[in-house]
Chains A and B, each alone.
Chain A
Amino acid sequence: MRHIISLLMENEAGALSRVSGLFSARGYNIESLTVAPTEDATLSRMTIVTSGSDEVIEQIYKQLNKLIEVVAVMDLSEGEHLERELMLVKVRAVGAVREEMKRMTDIFRGCIIDVSDKTYTIELTGTGHKLESFLQAIDRSLILETVRTGASGIGRGDRILKL
């Protein structure tokens, strides 16, 4: 089953490799991993999307907690949570396609953030599912490149992961 795990860790060199090394050493799956500093510059917040049986997820949770630099871990998918991912898509946009592409971007509530005479770069935010849907909705042969950040997650309401 898919799980989205959020963690706070010391914002120190090498901390990321401890997490990614743990996943590869123990054969855990990583679908995506995002990390950046928080409002407290000494802490980084990481979101890991993984999958596995209940036993594997329990081990992942415990093994992450065991890393010395990990301050707090939460399995967001155990409760109400939100997740968002950012995608940048560069598409070929010439002739009639230009108008069509603009329309699709509007429908998906994305925005075009760069324009050249032959291309658009579209920014789109949403769940992974929404981003997939967009890619399916447009003519695949027009896609020049896509960049996705991987999911960032946060608990709803009072579910807060803080030091």
Chain B
Amino acid sequence: MELTGAEITIRCLQEEGTEYVFGYPGGAVLHIYDALFTQNQVKHILVRHEQAAVHAADGYARSTDKVGVALVTSGPGVTNAVTGIATAYMDSIPMVIISGQVPTFAIGEDAFQEVDTVGITRPCVKHNFLVKDVKEIASTIKKAFYLAKSGRPGPVLVDIPKDISNQKAEFSYPSSVSIRSYHPAQHSDLEQVKSAVQLLLAAKRPMIYAGGGVILADASKQLTELVRLLGFPCTNTLMGLGGYPATDRQFVGMLGMHGTYEANMGMQYCDVLLAVGARFDDRVVGNVKHFSQEKRKIIHIDIDPSSISKRVKVDLPIVGDVAHVLDDLLAELHASKEKPDQQAIAPWWAQIKEWRGKNSLVYKNSDEIIKPQFVIEKLHEVTQGDAFITSDVGQHQMWAAQYYKFDKPRRWINSGGLGTMGFGLPAAMGVQLAHPGEQVACVTGEGSIQMCIQELSTCKQFQLPLKIIMLNNRYLGMVRQWQQFFHGNRYAESYMDALPDFVKLAEAYGHVGMRIEKPSDVEPALKEAFGRKQQLVFMDFITDQTENVFPMVQGGKGLSEVILAEDL
């Protein structure tokens, strides 16, 4: 039987097992919405802004191992979605975005709501397609899902002109897909793995540095086994948090610009570094020249060859799926006659212990005013460290990363690469839909939350009982911190005047609002909020305006040139 392009599109999503589509209707996708309407298998979540549709699909994807799906119309639908797409691209999140386009005969005529979608999104997608023949919709969507999920994941966009979604064709969904120009790496080169094992066993000052690739490859089990087997210290990047249990004694904390002293010093002064699914970005190693002054052997496991030796020269690259490579490494280690020598690395651990003694995450608590770090610590306690935490971007993001000890992967959902304010709330919606009944909290600030606040309406419509933990310091805190440190205390446009009454705002959207102003109220308020299992609770924590994020490695500085709270 012949189906319309729109019906084919929805059938493809059904075939892919898509549970939720996050989207917003409009002229160019009307046929597709009509096809959605006549079935029940794929559920549609109506957001209030296309940016949120993509972030929600993103949160869904990050918290599961599935492909997130978003559906937007042409023109402004797509341009609004671009921020979300770029966010997913920077963090390698598997996602398929279906966009409507003006009819093929109108393309290029500056038609109403026309933009060059393929052109606009080209630099921030793994790949994109413009479908010009209804017979190609099914094979294109099949390819899109395959590309999004395989290799180094990423967002893939499929642009479907309105006339194509209305034309008819026979539907058959391809059972397999092969693209002659696309062969993502799978298994590692065993010789390289053997060499890596030799290097690791000979290390005197080893360090394991694991990033988001571990989460994306679902390889935290293997990573944990490897770290324990070797007895080495392990650090996670912002994107890798939860890849190794944060409460474990071998974990030295997050590294990078706001990483712990011990993680950054360990990274700087190790003699063998095993990098797993991480990319040595500027927020992680700071000044590359400074980093490269110290001699160390670097083993780098990554699925993307272009990540290897991009910023830091690597001695031993292993290209492959992180989970497979770690399996091979473990097998090789088990088979090796040589065993990890804990005596040999004991002095290194002693050194790390000394660095740990700096207690670089210590902060001065107060009875008078709420410290943001304290809120996160209490959040961790009240949720027993078991919540899904999304965040926006800024100081609150760093405090959440530092003080919420993530023991499991896929629990920490944040925009690491692009640093997108407005990500947290819609991402939390996707997480909550993927995990009904689980505790989902969005840690945010009064700046970030206002970038996608309209989604409180979506939360009401779909009964999403999120907990919004807003650290309200009346400043764009991270901007203010940089202005304090590097711009002579000139707080240009970083003070937020005329904030709304967030309690009333939450109530206006039909949710519960709470304002918490005293440190002694933090824990009871959190308990009450998380006790309200069916309701969204918006918690406005009035926090210390002057608090800064420490430790800090300034941009352009080396990892050992760290500023601690005690230095100021």
Cβ of B119 and Cβ of A69 under 8 Å apart? no
* With contact pairs A63-B306, A66-B304, A68-B147 given, residues A17 and B181 touching in the complex (Cβ less than 8 Å): no
Q: What 0/1 pattern do residues 1 to 25 of A give for CB contact below 8 A with B?
A: 0000000011001100110010001
CA distance A14 to B309 in the complex (A): 29
A70 partner residues in chain B, CB cutoff 8 A: 181
Cβ of A14 and Cβ of B306 under 8 Å apart? no
Cβ of B305 and Cβ of A71 under 8 Å apart? no
Q: Does A163 interact with chain B (Cβ within 8 Å)?
A: yes
Q: Does A55 interact with chain B (Cβ within 8 Å)?
A: yes
A71 partner residues in chain B, CB cutoff 8 A: 180-181
Cβ of B127 and Cβ of A68 under 8 Å apart? yes
Q: Does A51 interact with chain B (Cβ within 8 Å)?
A: no
Cβ of B306 and Cβ of A59 under 8 Å apart? yes
Q: Does B532 interact with chain A (Cβ within 8 Å)?
A: no
* With contact pairs A14-B118, A18-B122 given, residues A68 and B130 touching in the complex (Cβ less than 8 Å): no
CA distance A157 to B199 in the complex (A): 40
CA distance A59 to B310 in the complex (A): 7
Cβ of A62 and Cβ of B305 under 8 Å apart? yes
Give residues of chain A (123-147) contacting chain B, Cβ–Cβ below 8 Å: none
CA distance A95 to B308 in the complex (A): 63
Interface size class of B (residues with CB under 8 A): 10 to 19
The size of the chain A interface, using a CB distance under 8 A, is 21
Q: Does A50 interact with chain B (Cβ within 8 Å)?
A: no
Q: Does B174 interact with chain A (Cβ within 8 Å)?
A: no
CA distance A14 to B131 in the complex (A): 13
Q: Does B126 interact with chain A (Cβ within 8 Å)?
A: yes
Cβ of B305 and Cβ of A65 under 8 Å apart? yes
Cβ of A68 and Cβ of B180 under 8 Å apart? no
Instruction: Among A21, A68, A69, A163, point to the contact of B123 (Cβ < 8 A).
Output: A21
Cβ of B179 and Cβ of A68 under 8 Å apart? yes
A55 partner residues in chain B, CB cutoff 8 A: 309, 313
Q: Does B182 interact with chain A (Cβ within 8 Å)?
A: yes
* With contact pairs A55-B309, A66-B306 given, residues A17 and B122 touching in the complex (Cβ less than 8 Å): yes
Q: Which residue of A lies closest to B151 (CB)?
A: A66
Q: Does A100 interact with chain B (Cβ within 8 Å)?
A: no
Cβ of A68 and Cβ of B181 under 8 Å apart? yes
CA distance A69 to B313 in the complex (A): 28
Nearest CB of A to B445, in Å: 31
B126 partner residues in chain A, CB cutoff 8 A: 68
Q: Which of B119, B123, B180, B181 has the most A CB atoms < 10 Å from its CB? A: B181
Q: Which residue of A lies closest to B179 (CB)?
A: A68
CA distance A10 to B309 in the complex (A): 28
Nearest CB of B to A41, in Å: 15
Q: What 0/1 pattern do residues 146 to 162 of B give for CB contact below 8 A with A?
A: 01000000000000000
A-B pair number, CB within 8 angstroms = 38
B308 partner residues in chain A, CB cutoff 8 A: 62
Cβ of A163 and Cβ of B180 under 8 Å apart? yes
Q: Does A58 interact with chain B (Cβ within 8 Å)?
A: yes
Q: What 0/1 pattern do residues 521 to 552 of B give for CB contact below 8 A with A?
A: 00000000000000000000000000000000
Instruction: Among B123, B130, B181, B182, point to the contact of A14 (Cβ < 8 A).
Output: B130
A59 partner residues in chain B, CB cutoff 8 A: 306, 310
CA distance A34 to B180 in the complex (A): 23
A66 partner residues in chain B, CB cutoff 8 A: 304-306
Q: What 0/1 pattern do residues 87 to 126 of B give for CB contact below 8 A with A?
A: 0000000000000000000000000000000110011001
Q: Which residue of A lies closest to B182 (CB)?
A: A68
Cβ of A10 and Cβ of B119 under 8 Å apart? no
Q: Which residue of A lies closest to B119 (CB)?
A: A17
CA distance A70 to B304 in the complex (A): 15
CA distance A9 to B180 in the complex (A): 10
Cβ of B180 and Cβ of A25 under 8 Å apart? no
CA distance A68 to B179 in the complex (A): 8
B182 partner residues in chain A, CB cutoff 8 A: 68
CA distance A137 to B463 in the complex (A): 80
Nearest CB of A to B431, in Å: 29
Q: Which of A10, A14, A70, A71 has the most B CB atoms < 10 Å from its CB? A: A14
CA distance A69 to B180 in the complex (A): 9
Cβ of A21 and Cβ of B181 under 8 Å apart? no
Q: Which residue of A lies closest to B152 (CB)?
A: A66
Give residues of chain A (16-40) contacting chain B, Cβ–Cβ below 8 Å: 17-18, 21, 25
Nearest CB of A to B388, in Å: 31
Q: Which residue of B lies closest to A8 (CB)?
A: B181
Q: Which residue of B lies closest to A65 (CB)?
A: B305
Give the top 4 A-B pairs by smallest Cβ distance, nearest first.
A62-B306, A71-B181, A68-B127, A62-B305
Instruction: List, sorted by A's number, 5 A–B pairs whose CB atoms are closer than 8 Å.
Output: A10-B181, A21-B122, A62-B306, A62-B308, A66-B305
A contact residues vs B (CB 8 Å cutoff):
9-10, 13-14, 17-18, 21, 25, 55, 58-59, 62-63, 65-66, 68-72, 163
B contact residues vs A (CB 8 Å cutoff):
118-119, 122-123, 126-127, 130, 147, 179-182, 304-306, 308-310, 313
For the A-B complex with A14-B130, A21-B123, A62-B308 known, give 16 more contacts whose Cβ atoms are closer than 8 Å.
A10-B181, A14-B118, A14-B122, A17-B119, A59-B306, A63-B306, A65-B305, A65-B306, A66-B304, A68-B126, A68-B127, A68-B147, A68-B179, A68-B181, A70-B181, A72-B181
